[in-house]
Structure 1
Amino acid sequence: MPKAKWITPIFHPNIAKNGDVCIGTRWTPMKGIDKIIIELANMIQYASYNLDNPYDYSAKRWVGQNESEIKNMIYMVKFPPEKGGDIEIVDEEELEIVG
């Protein structure tokens, strides 16, 4: 089973202060590393989190209290009102694996 460890500190309910990451699903070789990469990218954007199994309880509380604002911020980043750069949530259909 692959292990992920966050090097740069991040405030997220499923990332421990020591960098351990809990994706919340059991990995099998059939799933592939690409699914883990997609999940990690979604976690950075707060598009993915599991409040039922947190590593960081203060982040869990913060997300629970601000969930609607977080979803609004994700929407504003994905669909900015003005023209310019557009950051989108990673979607597995859009991921191309080269190799």
Structure 2
Amino acid sequence: MNRGFGAAPISQSALLLQRQLAELNKNPVEGFSAGLVDDSDLYLWEVVLLGPPDTLYEGGIFKAQLVFPEEYPLRPPKMKFLTEIWHPNVHQSGEVCISILHEPGDDTYGYEAASERWLPVHTVETVLLSVISMLADPNAESPANIDAAKEMREMPDEFRKKVVTCVRKSIEEF
């Protein structure tokens, strides 16, 4: 696709994102929806994730953004929840911290294998399915939100109450 006579051709990363968006529109995936924030920017997506069934997050409707780098798919997108969420693998700022979104290559701390980190074969779909899996199965051993992880391990009833509050707020705000 060309943006018009004399305009630079669309980049390979933008073409790939365009194809992934078209595929998600053609074949929606249960548990989330994704689209562009603004039709003029293929690198900024809005996402709505449904809390996975049979989890503390069930019933929640969580808004988030994906921001893709120009080097996509060689580098991962960044994901941030816009809806308040209490989870060990989500920073209090809303930024998602899971292996699939970490820069490719070896982990300098030795915690993750390179195969667990970003790989160019990942798509918007695989990222969002990984985040849904993260909601269903929090990793308190490698937390982004230390307070949530500690509470989940040591005070599960308090953790549950905070999650239920976030789920209720997510519904009210949607």
TM-score normalised by L of structure 1: 0.56
Q: 2:136, 2:153 → 1: CA distance?
A: 14
Alpha carbons of 1:31 and 1:48: their partners in 2 closer, same or farther (altered >3 Å)?
same
Q: What does the per-residue CA deviation read over 1:25-55, in whole Å, with 9 as the maximum and x for residues that have no partner?
A: 3111212221111122233xx4122222211
SS at match of 2:132: helix
For the 8 Å contact 1:14–1:22, the answer to whether it is kept is yes
For the 8 Å contact 1:24–1:53, the answer to whether it is kept is no
Q: 2:124, 2:88 → 1: CA distance?
A: 22
**2:151 is matched with which residue?**
62
Q: What does the per-residue CA deviation read over 1:46-76, in whole Å, with 9 as the maximum and x for residues that have no partner?
A: 412222221111110122233xxx8xxxxxx
SS at match of 1:5: strand
**1:90 is matched with which residue?**
none
Q: Give the alignment of 1:1-99 within 5 angstroms.
A: 1-25=76-100, 26-43=117-134, 46-65=135-154, 66=156
Instruction: Name whichever structure is richer in strand by fraction.
Output: 2
**2:108 is matched with which residue?**
none
Deviation at 1:11, TM superposition (A): 0.3
Q: 2:99, 2:153 → 1: CA distance?
A: 18
Gaps of 5+ in 1: 71-99
Q: 1:48, 1:3 → 2: CA distance?
A: 20
For the 8 Å contact 1:39–1:48, the answer to whether it is kept is no
Larger radius of gyration: 2
Q: 2:127, 2:152 → 1: CA distance?
A: 22
Q: Which runs of 4+ in 1 moved over 2 A?
A: none
TM-score normalised by L of structure 2: 0.34
